[in-house]
Chain A
């Protein structure tokens, strides 16, 4: 039972354009969501997070949107840069359990 789903295994965008990465979740107890970036053979690097009391959080080129009613969140990267090419993981946590549940990841490729 996959509680965090990233249905797009890959995404390709042109440099300078917007990248939109999507994530859906099923567990109503999740109240904190995070996005991580991962290069091959490396550990994930934290990008941005959002609490369920918000619907948007912005940090530079990265913005995360949360739609609680749809149990959906998305990561927007604008403008996209070739260095953004990596696997992006969506993760969620909730309740008194601080453990993170990860999606399968989306491979983003930004073409010059």
Chain B
């Protein structure tokens, strides 16, 4: 079974702090994604990566950056956390370019910024 793990289930940070959210997948997938999920707004794509050291902006990249130094690990960084970044953050991974693409999610990190 595909497994996507996220470093924390719950996180509380203060405004202005630098925040790291880590995601690891064990299926050798090329593609990895970071979403945030807010009530009434659904899933919104922040950043994604199709390969090591590669990153692409999603729909709402402002205030975030990412790092993909190893294939299995994709990190989301909040350089200076703000209260409007309080949200559920979901990491996902998928295989690339096959005729049966499927995307798998991690358990989520609920981040609260005070």
- Note whether A and B form a binding pair: no
B residues near A, CB below 8 A?
none
A residues near B, CB below 8 A?
none
